[in-house]
Structure 1
Amino acid sequence: MNFDYKLFEMINQFAGQNQILDQTVMLFSKFGPILFGLVFVWLWFSKSGKKVDNRKIVLYAITITVFALGVNKVIELMYFRPRPFVTYAVNLLSDKTSTDPSFPSNHSAGAFAMAWALFWHRKRIGSVLLIMAFFMALSRIYIGVHYPFDVTAGAIIALIVTAVLISQRRLLDPLYQNILQAFRKSKGQKYYRNM
């Protein structure tokens, strides 16, 4: 824990030194999840590649994110770690002084869940999302609301959940196929398996 705090200090010490950087990091920390979501909205409606495959990736991302956040919630119920600003004097840039558990980071878990889900199927754009997820995790430390171990745990939980669910593709693919078929029927369109 001492090493965790020292690492936190190394990153958080730069907060409050540059107003432009602070505002940029705070905006990304707050609205970054929306950017991640927009990537999947684009993918859902994208005409690049097979539409069915694109939409399955979106369903995988949603499933993985929900499960990763669910695992986080279970951990939070069993173990409570106060936020850094509760225990220490930190450079706090967040206007929301939440007293929710610091460990594990939901922002990190959610961002990495979406990134890993996409990376598993589309390496190039998935790599971009992984880089964004890294900066999302870093931003949470910078603004003073999480320790490095919190965001690392979120990323690892997301990776494990992704690996487990991807290993169950034989069960999930037919389920997603049925969901997509029902979606298309609800739109009054004929379903083509070879889209």
Structure 2
Amino acid sequence: MPGPGLEAVRPLADATLANAGGGSSGPDVGLLYEINGLAKDAPGWFDRAMEFVGEYGIVLGLGVLMLCAWWSVRRGPDATGGVTALLWAPLAAGIALLVNVPIRGFVRRPRPFLEHQGLDVLVRGKTDFSFVSDHATLTMALGVGLFVAHRKYGLVGIGLAFLEGFCRVFMGVHYPTDVVGGLALGTAVVLLLAPLAMMGLTPLTLWVGGTRMGWLVRSRRPVPVALAGPEHVAGQQARHRDNGLAA
């Protein structure tokens, strides 16, 4: 029969095992409870809305932003570069998600609701590991890729990626550090591989631009003079002079 000394040590051993399993307290867990606590105080319809936004809505919104940016850059003076950057954005997001597979397997961090009691979990069935957040990785990669192609839409996309990170913690399925890791991973993959990716994708964009599908790369409408380069403006002026002489 174990003595009183062993009984006194047992709670400390249990706490140590909880810490080793990712159940320790600290700023990360404290912030998790602070943000997820908002879900407990919010009405049910708001929780359902956040669930949809966090699972699907922001990703769909980024898709719409990609279409808007494509429509804009193909009408600009550097249509080839802009369309190439937009093509790189979803490819970078896919690469970042693949990079996250071994990271998750190495860290093996359980979901927060498996380690901590009292969380309001809005999405059930999450049985994979928690670090790094796939949603944060995906949305930030798309947002930064958008920023490379089009600053205005890119800033909106990056803002949506931060909102995605907030939603994942609000929903009780990720720690804040899971989100920070995802945002960093998505950014790093896009920016570090961008030079090599642009070199490889630009010939493809140029080839498509020279085919019947060229409207995917460049608008058939003339480039506005305000957006055109000096060579374009000089050429337009020369043609006007020639037309005047001919008249």
Give the TM-score normalised by structure 1. Answer: 0.85
Residue segments in structure 2 that go unaligned for 5+ positions in a row: 1-23, 220-247
Q: Match of 1:69, SS?
A: helix
**Equivalent of 2:67 in 37, 41, 45:** 41
Could you list the per-position Cα deviations for residues 94-143 of structure 1 after superposition, in whole angstroms to 9, with x for gaps in the alignment? 1x321111000000011111111122343222111111111100000001
Q: Match of 1:16, SS?
A: helix
**Equivalent of 2:148 in 120, 124, 135:** 120
Query: How far 1:63 sits from its partner (Å)?
Result: 2.4
- Whether the 8 Å CA contact 1:16–1:93 is kept in 2: the answer is no
**Equivalent of 1:104 in 107, 132, 138:** 132
Query: How far 1:73 sits from its partner (Å)?
Result: 0.9
2:11 counterpart residue number: none
2:85 counterpart residue number: 57
Would you say 1:23 and 2:23 are equivalent positions? no
AA in 2 matched with 1:156:
A
Q: Are the structure 2 counterparts of residues 3 and 194 from structure 1 closer, same or farther at C-alpha, using a change threshold of 3 Å? A: closer
1:175 counterpart residue number: 200
**Equivalent of 1:130 in 158, 162, 165:** 158
Give the CA RMSD over aligned residues: 2.5
Distance 2:171 2:218 in 1: 47
- Higher relative contact order (Cα pairs below 8 Å, separated by 6+ residues): 1
1:82 counterpart residue number: 110
AA in 2 matched with 1:42:
C
Query: How far 1:53 sits from its partner (Å)?
Result: 2.9
1:12 counterpart residue number: 36
Query: How far 1:179 sits from its partner (Å)?
Result: 2.1
Distance 1:33 1:99 in 2: 21
Query: How far 1:184 sits from its partner (Å)?
Result: 4.9
Would you say 1:91 and 2:120 are equivalent positions? yes
Q: Are the structure 2 counterparts of residues 88 and 21 from structure 1 closer, same or farther at C-alpha, using a change threshold of 3 Å? A: same
Residue segments in structure 1 that go unaligned for 5+ positions in a row: none
Distance 2:213 2:149 in 1: 26
- Whether the 8 Å CA contact 2:143–2:161 is kept in 1: the answer is yes
Q: Are the structure 2 counterparts of residues 92 and 175 from structure 1 closer, same or farther at C-alpha, using a change threshold of 3 Å? A: same
Runs of 4+ in 1 over 6 A off after TM superposition: none
Percentage of pairs with the same residue? 25
Decide which structure has the larger Cα Rg and report it: 2
- Whether the 8 Å CA contact 1:44–1:55 is kept in 2: the answer is yes
**Count of aligned positions:** 190
Q: Are the structure 2 counterparts of residues 88 and 175 from structure 1 closer, same or farther at C-alpha, using a change threshold of 3 Å? A: same
